[in-house]
Structures are given as structure tokens and as C-alpha cells.
Amino acid sequence: MTAPPRSEHSPLVDRAVGVLLGLAVGDALGMPTQSMSRERIADTYGSITGLVDAVDAQPIAPSMPAGSITDDTEQALLVGELLVSGGGRIAAGTFADALASWERGMEAKGSRDLLGPSTKAAIAAIQQGASLDDDPGRFGTTNGAAMRIAPIGIAFRPDQDILLPAVVEASWITHNTGLGLSAAAAVAAAISVALEDPATGIPELTAAASQAADALTGTGNWVAGASVGARIRWASAAAADLGEAEAVEFIAEIVGTSVASQESVPAAFALIARFGADPYRTLLHAANIGGDTDTIAAIAGAVLGARHGTTAWPKAVTAQVLERNDLDLHPLATALLALRTPTSASNTRVQA
């Protein structure tokens, strides 16, 4: 049974729900445009101004109805459920099995929205007999860890000694590279900082994100690629001073919107830096920008939801997303907040 947002909850609970709801709303807005160019989006839909059905020719989500979520939200909720059931820990083997089971379920439904390239390669290796000691995530550089990391930002406070080991534990099985881990750290840190103090300004949130990314740049395996933290700082500062059309052009054409961690995650923070005062407008820009639109919008939605809460998103839009996907986000959000203590978080250990 789908439940509407509950305004009677405390501000912290409302903002934790806002993280998951913002992720789902951004994901649903970007669903019909994912993996399409800006030009093709404009030719196909005109401009995305709300939730729309995916066209038959949508490359990943053909004909999906308006308001449908994708792997971004589904995998984030999976991470959250595993985190709660594990008392703040995520066992790598359990996570791998859960991801494989999730993909089998998607395939059975005929969905094309399956595991991303890094996650798929790691899980396939495990399913074919590789052990965890073989480091199956050693080539994972894409944004799969970043797209599903939001529950870690809810469950752990922003102290880097607490938060960053939790990011690694939730990510290394598929994304054990400096690029993959630093991108996930940036998203988790921004969410955690915003939940800790909603008065934190957007420049401070992007700074926290880039600093967390810097801290994990040398973690895991080295793979060639630009620094995620440096690109967040550069893209956010540059976009913030541009006009609306110029900012969108800069992010789409210069920052980049591919599944690469060093493109899509800085793109999400650049959109937040330029348009974050209007959260829903930020997500609409993400849905129209081309490339990995659903992930960029989902990340931006999670971060801005942590700052503004459920009221950041239009009631009609949230109602449609919740109804379409039969979501009740409050139980998971409150369970994740129950983990948000230094005592429970300090028990998290890096297993890579």
C-alpha cells in the first residue's frame, strides 16, 4: 500500500524521507530520457516539464509509464534494506547475491534496465566462481556505487572516520577503484552533511562532497581518470556563475553526462550549484540534459532532499511516483536514522 509523505514527522525524519523521495522523483523524471542526447530528447519530448511516459524507442526503458523508477532507486533501496538488516553492516557476499537476484527478477519482467557495466562485470565474475579475494570490483569506475549510496548518507554522520569506511564497505564489491569509491563518497557526504544541518549552504555541501571524494581518491585500485573531487570543485564553481542556458550547455558539453563517475557525479553537483535553490527545477534540468539523466537527477534529488525535505517536490509528482511504484519510504528512512549514531557507525570496517 503506497503511503503519502507524512508531514507530522520530525524535521530530521522528513528530510531523511526527502532523500529517498528526491532520489525516486529524480530517477522517474530522468527515466524517459536516459541514454538519449539532448537533441534527441528535444525532438522526442520537446522539454521535460514533469513526469512523462517513455516512448517506444527509449533505449533502456521503452514504453515505461510516467513516474516509473529505475535501477537507481531500486538498488538504493536494496542497499538501505541490507544496511538495516545488517545492523549497519553490509556483507559483501550477501550484497552480491542480492544484486544478482535483483537482476534475475528484472530479466523475468522483460526489463532492459539491468545492472550497470561495472556492477554487471563484478557480479558475473562472482557468479562464475570468482572469490571475494579476487577483488571483483577492481575495474569498477562507473557511477553505480554513487547512484545507490544515499542510504549510507542517511545512516552515518559526516565524520569521515565513520562515513568513509561505510562507503567503502557498501561499494568495494563492484567499484573498488579510486574513481568509483570517491564518487560514492561525494554523494554520501553531501547527504550526511545536509541532514546534520539543513542550514548548510550549497557551496558548503559541494565542498564537503569534494573533500570526501579527495579522501578516497587513493583507495582501492588505481585506474586512469580525472579526480572526481577536483572536477566537482571546478564544475560547481564554474556553473554557479553562468546564465541558465550557458550553465546547461557547459555541464552537458564540457563537464559531461556519461556513466563515468568523473562526469556524471560532478555534473550532478554542478546542477545543484547553479540551480539548487529551486530543487525541482534542478531535477528538470537534469532530465533534459542528456546522457545518464536518471542517475544525475537521482543524485541531485537525494542531496537536495536532504537539505529541503519532502516539501521540495510537488505533491502531485510525489503522489504519482509513490503510487506508480507502490513505495512507502518512511519505514526505511526511520530505520536508517536509527543507525545514525557514532557507536553503531564506528563498528563499520573496511573489508577491501
CATH number at residue 310: 1.10.4080.10
Question: What pLDDT shows up at residue 2?
Answer: 52
Is 254 inside a domain boundary? yes
Distance CA 241, CA 243 (A): 7
Per the structure block, which three cell numbers stand in for 159? Answer: 565524520
Is 266 inside a domain boundary? yes
Question: What pLDDT shows up at residue 109?
Answer: 53
Question: What pLDDT shows up at residue 136?
Answer: 86
DSSP letter for 119, please: H
Is 172 inside a domain boundary? yes
Is 112 inside a domain boundary? yes
Cα separation values, 162 from 146, 158, 196, 299, Å = 18, 7, 14, 21
- In three-state secondary structure terms, 143 is coil
pLDDT tens track for 161-170: 999 999 999 9
AA letter at 276 = G
Residue that has been written with the C-alpha cell 526511520 in this structure: 334
pLDDT tens track for 114-124: 567 777 777 77
Is 335 inside a domain boundary? yes
CB 59 within 8 A of CB 35: yes
pTM for the full predicted model: 0.92
DSSP 253-267: III--SSBHHHHHHH
Residue 260 phi, psi dihedral angles, 5° rounding: -60, 135
Question: What pLDDT shows up at residue 318?
Answer: 98
Is 2 inside a domain boundary? no
Q: How do the pLDDT tens digits run along the chain, 352 residues long? A: 455 444 457 999 999 999 999 999 999 999 999 999 999 999 999 999 999 999 999 999 999 999 999 999 999 999 999 999 999 999 888 888 888 887 777 666 556 665 677 777 777 777 777 778 888 889 999 999 999 999 999 999 999 899 999 999 999 989 999 999 999 999 999 999 999 999 999 999 999 999 999 999 999 999 999 999 999 999 999 999 999 999 999 999 999 999 999 999 999 999 999 999 999 999 999 999 999 999 999 999 999 999 999 999 999 999 999 999 999 999 999 999 999 964 443 444 444 3
Question: What pLDDT shows up at residue 92?
Answer: 84
Domain count, the chain: 1
Burial class (CB in 10 A: 0-12, 13-18, 19+), 198: middle
Domain assignment of residue 179, given as a range: 11-341
Is 5 inside a domain boundary? no
Is 1 inside a domain boundary? no
Bridge partner residues of 260 (DSSP): 142
DSSP 31-48: GGGTTB-HHHHHHHHS--
Residue 177 phi, psi dihedral angles, 5° rounding: -130, 160
- In three-state secondary structure terms, 275 is helix
Per the structure block, which three cell numbers stand in for 131? Answer: 572469490
**What is the chain's alpha carbon radius of gyration, rounded to the nearest angstrom?**
18
